[in-house]
Amino acid sequence: MNRRYRKTIIAGNWKMNKTLTETKAFAEDIKTKLGKPKWCEVVLCVPYVNIPAAVRLFKDCRIAIGAENCHYESHGAYTGEVSAEMLKELGVKYVIIGHSERRQYYNETDFTVNKKVHAALEAGLYPIVCVGESLEQRELGVTMELIAYQVKAALAGVPADKMRHVVIAYEPIWAIGTGKTATAEQAAEVCESIRVVIRKLYGARVARAVTIQYGGSMNAKNAAELLAQPDIDGGLIGGASLKPDDFTTIVNAANQE
């Protein structure tokens, strides 16, 4: 982490978990544990149906609410979809874009990711843009080239003055939900390379200010080591964000003066 230049952000991705009742119970539990973090921003990206309640329930403990996806159009005949403007009006601050599960199961492409980034920024949301390689791609030695392409494609047409609202989350696909985690050195190497790509696109000043998270099985045991890396500015947390004790431990690892 490097707070001199950029924000530290711990974001939970609940995926398709927790009913409204369970969300209320989680809020009551974590309020007794978390306090009000001062040195990092805490976000919970929850299912659409829980957003209105979550905005209300987590307001007192300074947890911002995010969505797990949005559509790239502002309105239209897109049954079952939700626009960035709709999310903004509900009180959402962040939105996850391009998660590997959506790329794999819902035909999300680099083209649609880019369109969603623009839609989110236009609506005043902070996009958390996910990039990452498969195990096969890592073993082929193309990780850096692939990640560079994904970052460039996602940011195509995004002006420099909007980059302070963009978060990049490096999530190696082979480490999501598998229990496997990139070593601190592997994660740091890729996050550093992402910053190099942004520096080439926008210059050093913008690159220094962009928050780059690590995802892929960050948990209560490995969070401190990962967050100690200079180019890892937080985490996009899956399973551990569903457990108040574990999520609090991760936040505390990031919430250091």
Going by C-alpha positions, the residue among 117, 113, 133, 114 that lies closest to residue 125 is 117
**Residues 117/121/125/129 CA torsion (nearest 10 deg):** 30
Does 235 belong to an annotated binding site? no
User: Which H, E and C letters describe 222-237, residue by residue?
Assistant: CHHHHHCCCCCCEEEE
Residue 238 assigned ligand-binding role: yes
Among residues 127, 236, 113, 138, the alpha carbon closest in space to that of 190 is found at 138
Does residue 239 have a known ligand-binding role? yes
Of the residues 41, 68, 99, 108, which is catalytic? 99
H-helix or E-strand containing 114? Answer: helix 110-123
User: Rounded to the nearest 5°, which phi and psi values hold at 202?
Assistant: -125, -10
Tell me: is residue 15 an annotated ligand-binding position. Answer: yes
Decide: residue 257, CB within 10 A, 0-12 exposed, 13-18 middle, 19+ buried: exposed
Q: Is 99 among the catalytic positions?
A: yes
The question of whether 71 is a catalytic residue gets the answer no
Burial (0-12, 13-18, 19+ Cβ within 10 Å), 16: exposed
Distances 132 to 112, 193, 220 between C-alpha atoms, Å: 16, 12, 22
By the 8 A CB rule, do 153 and 198 touch? no
Neighbours of 76 (CB within 10 A): 9
174 annotated as ligand-binding = no
Catalytic residue, candidates 41, 108, 133, 171: 171
Contact 238, 178 (CB under 8 A): no
Query: Residues annotated as binding site?
Result: 13-15, 177, 217, 238-239
Query: Residues annotated as binding site for substrate?
Result: 13-15, 177, 217, 238-239
* Active-site amino acid positions: 99, 171
